[in-house]
Copies of this chain bind each other. A is one copy, B any other.
């Protein structure tokens, strides 16, 4: 299981473009930069309660998008399949070229 911060950062990577500008600001400072509600409130000139509400709302939006599109769970499954492919090629000289292609494929996520 992913911890909450890692999960939110990943969901943000996948769905961030669908949040509003304000939601993106708050989520980046809170989950990515690890600022406190108070610091974010001072920085953005809004109340602590406003920051709290924005984080709560953004979380809900991100989790709803994951329920609808499942990009994070697909990403995790793709990584597992890529590992299974490399296991199939253990000891073969072709493995390195395939690994580079799989890396390129996974980086699309």
Contact = CB atoms under 8 A, between A and B. Distances in A.
A105 interface: yes
A74 interface: yes
A33 interface: no
Contact of A68 (B17, B78, B81, B92): B17
A101 to B, nearest CB: 5
B69 A85 contact: no
* Copies of chain A in the complex: 2
Given A17-B68, A68-B17, A69-B18, A88 B98 contact: yes
Contacts of A77: 105, 108
How many chain A residues sit at the interface, stated as a range, is 20 to 34
Contacts of A102: 81, 85
B98 A68 contact: no
A3 interface: no
Contacts of A89: 89, 94, 98
Contact of A78 (B17, B65, B71, B108): B108
